[in-house]
């Protein structure tokens, strides 16, 4: 069975099934461009507040919405608690021409769920269904019928695992794809994701199901595709630490082998992202925003894709304020970038 294959999301045809998840604080335009360069077939913005978009569409939120220069296909993810307001926000996306609109029903962060958005929607499946309906309506009227998708969790907690009900309602309301991160809201990002939930959902739905959760290596992706039958895999933290995971996974799925990236190549990739971000936000702001990205790519041992001596590097990287200072940190560590 060919595990690397095209995916149809309603009218949207994608050439492959390796997706970049919406990752808050990381999935900005520059990072998405890097992931597309490295083989991501589809990418999502980080979550965008429907209320912020409605109140000030020309404000800071617009920086989250810009399509990357090499993003042939991308989705905007919205979060909110009011179906009418999320539909209104979706209509305002017309100037950015997203290829899909995703509804966030999985974020476990307190400041999101306390508003009734994110994973809190799984406590109100009927509200989620109405939100999908309103967003589909807005897409037909203003976005040329771009498909509406939903990203959700397994449930609120272990006593309310209701992904099957929520997905059924969302699909009946018009969702063209469901992405499942099989942890509960209560788990946050801890514990182990239960991939059997993905397989179960695949067996229940007629629309494609995308799987995420504990995807860090090409082998993880291949195993998820084989074990669950999902249409696509969605890398999140695994891509933050290693954007090469897309090309590596495609190589494994197509040829049966892949090659780890050299530490220097990983760092050059992050500097490429820094340069792109500096063009948008200015060097000072870009350097501050990129501290977390430099730290992410140096974590873990060599077998996990990390950088030798990463802890010492991070102690210095968190103080870098210019591109030259970042380069000096790696020069002093004997890495010529």
Active site residues: 107
The two tokens of residue 7 are: 């995916």
Cβ contacts of residue 252 below 8 Å, gap of 6+? 218, 219, 221, 222, 258
Residues 6 or more apart from 268 whose CB is under 8 A from it?
Answer: 337
CA–CA gap between residue 65 and residue 50 (Å, rounded): 12
Dist CA 268 CA 277 (whole Å):
14
- E-assigned strands of the chain? 7-9, 12-14, 18-20, 42-44, 48-49, 74-79, 100-105, 148-155, 177-184, 209-211, 232-235
Q: What is the rounded CA–CA span in Å between residue 321 and residue 330?
A: 14
């Amino acid at each position: 069975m060919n595990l690397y294959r095209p995916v149809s999301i309603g009218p949207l045809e994608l050439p492959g099934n390796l997706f970049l998840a919406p990752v808050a604080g990381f999935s900005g335009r520059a990072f998405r461009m890097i992931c597309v360069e490295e083989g991501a077939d589809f990418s999502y913005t980080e979550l965008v507040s429907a209320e912020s978009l409605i109140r000030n569409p020309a404000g800071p939120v617009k920086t989250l919405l810009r399509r990357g220069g090499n993003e042939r296909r991308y989705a905007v993810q919205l979060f909110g608690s009011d179906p009418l307001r999320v539909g209104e926000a979706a209509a305002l996306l017309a100037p950015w021409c997203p290829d899909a609109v995703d509804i966030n029903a999985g974020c476990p962060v307190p400041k999101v769920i306390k508003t009734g958005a994110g994973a809190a929607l799984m406590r109100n499946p009927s509200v989620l269904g109405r939100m999908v309906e309103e967003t589909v309506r807005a897409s037909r009227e203003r976005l040329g019928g771009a498909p509406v998708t939903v990203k959700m969790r397994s449930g609120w907690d272990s006593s309310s695992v209701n992904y099957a009900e929520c997905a059924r309602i969302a699909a009946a309301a018009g969702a063209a794809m469901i992405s499942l991160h099989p942890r509960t809201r209560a788990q946050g990002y801890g514990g182990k994701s239960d991939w059997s939930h993905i397989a179960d959902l695949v067996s229940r739905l007629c629309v494609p199901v995308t799987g995420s959760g504990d995807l860090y290596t090409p082998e993880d992706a291949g195993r998820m595709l084989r074990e669950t039958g999902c249409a696509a895999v969605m890398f999140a933290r695994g891509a933050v630490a290693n954007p090469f995971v897309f090309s590596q996974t495609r190589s494994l799925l197509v040829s049966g082998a892949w090659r780890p990236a050299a530490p220097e190549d990983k760092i050059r990739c992050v500097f490429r992202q820094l340069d792109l971000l500096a063009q948008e936000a200015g060097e000072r702001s870009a350097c501050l925003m990129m501290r977390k990205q430099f730290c992410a790519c140096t974590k873990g041992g060599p077998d996990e894709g990390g950088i030798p001596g990463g802890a010492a590097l991070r102690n210095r990287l968190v103080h870098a304020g210019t591109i030259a200072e970042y380069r000096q940190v790696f020069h002093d560590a004997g890495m010529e970038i």
